[in-house]
Amino acid sequence: SAKAIRDRIAQQGKGLESVVGLLEDHAADSPLLPGLRRLQMLYGDVGMQYTFQEPVTDTKARTTYINSVTTVDLTDDQLQAITEAVNDLRAQINA
């Protein structure tokens, strides 16, 4: 669904933080770093809220069900800005 895709896009901000941190530590002169920092700034405005719920374990089935929920607040304008920043990075990589 469109909401699931939107939520998945919004959740990529955490991975982006790791990539930027690695580049800053090991390749600070990377030409991609300014674009990634711009993208990171855009992700900083995306609202995310994690609500913990106790997991439930079905011992017979040997399965644990995670019931926690993450809600995302990603506006159309934010999504558009993130999309444009990603497209700019792709163009830079493919140039």
* pLDDT tens profile 30-79: 999 999 999 999 999 999 899 999 999 999 999 999 999 988 999 999 99
User: pLDDT category, 95, cuts 50, 70, 90?
Assistant: confident
CB–CB of 50/68 below 8 Å? yes
Show the beta-strand stretches assigned E in 52-89: 56-58, 63-65, 69-73
* The total number of structural domains that make up the chain: 1
Range of the domain at 40: 2-94
CB–CB of 36/72 below 8 Å? no
Amino acid identity at 63: T
CB–CB of 33/42 below 8 Å? no
